[in-house]
């Protein structure tokens, strides 16, 4: 993920949780309501939490009952779909390769925040949901690792080539 922090900003960007410590984005998604207290609401970015937890500068992302949105990254994809972006690239989706985050000091330093050491970051339902969005909504995962996705992903090299010459 850190390989993308220095990219020049060319498009609308949606990030998760603490991304603004490394990159200015247009929208920030935070799935776990306990995490909201750790995230500084700093306009002009627009902040979103899941349905039922808005307030204090936070809007909400709402999804249908047939969708399986289970984390901030998925919530960011759902927001991009709701905002009707024509192209949606998902950067930093490292579900199959690691549970480590550059923000582990924050996640694991506060006992009230969710923890998942040693576990994968996705469930089968989340994987099915992402693949449905890939098929039906044109969502593209950017990664040099195919796993855990069964559908093709976009390599980092191919993404960067397209990003540099839109």
What confidence tens digit (pLDDT) does each residue in 114-127 have? 555 555 667 889 89
pLDDT in tens, 88-106: 999 987 766 666 666 666 6
The number of residues in the chain equals: 166
**pLDDT in the model for residue 59:** 96
Q: Output the CA–CA distances (angstroms, integers) from residue 155 to 37, 85, 117, 140, 159, in the order listed.
A: 35, 21, 27, 10, 6
**pLDDT in the model for residue 57:** 94
CA 115 to chain centroid: 17
pLDDT in tens, 69-80: 988 999 999 999
Q: Is 73 exposed, middle or buried (0-12, 13-18, 19+ CB in 10 A)?
A: buried
Residue 138 contacts by C-beta under 8 Å, 6 or more apart in sequence? Answer: 87, 88
Give residue 86's domain range.
Answer: 2-113+121-164
Helix, strand, coil in percent for the chain, rounding step 5? 30, 15, 55
How many angstroms separate the CA atoms of 107 and 92, rounded? 17
- In this prediction the pTM is 0.86
Report the pLDDT averaged over residues 39-49.
95
Poorest-pLDDT segment among 4-18, 103-117, 131-145? 103-117
Structurally, the chain folds into a number of domains equal to 1
Q: Is 54 exposed, middle or buried (0-12, 13-18, 19+ CB in 10 A)?
A: middle
Sign of CA dihedral 14, 15, 17, 21: negative
């Amino acid at each position: 993920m850190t390989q993308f922090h220095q990219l020049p900003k060319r498009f609308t960007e949606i990030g998760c949780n603490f991304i603004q410590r490394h990159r200015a984005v247009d929208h920030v998604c935070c799935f776990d309501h306990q995490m909201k207290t750790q995230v500084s609401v700093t306009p002009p970015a627009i902040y979103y939490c899941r349905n039922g937890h808005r307030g204090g500068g936070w809007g909400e992302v709402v999804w249908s009952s047939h969708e399986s949105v289970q984390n901030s990254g998925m919530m960011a994809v759902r927001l991009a779909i709701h905002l009707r972006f024509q192209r949606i690239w998902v950067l930093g989706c490292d579900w199959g390769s690691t549970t480590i985050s550059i923000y582990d000091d924050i996640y694991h330093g506060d006992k009230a925040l969710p923890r998942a050491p040693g576990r994968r970051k996705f469930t089968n339902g989340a994987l099915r949901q992402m693949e449905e969005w890939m098929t039906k909504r044109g969502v593209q995962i950017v990664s040099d690792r195919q796993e855990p996705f069964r559908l093709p992903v976009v390599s980092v090299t191919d993404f960067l080539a397209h990003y540099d010459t839109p």
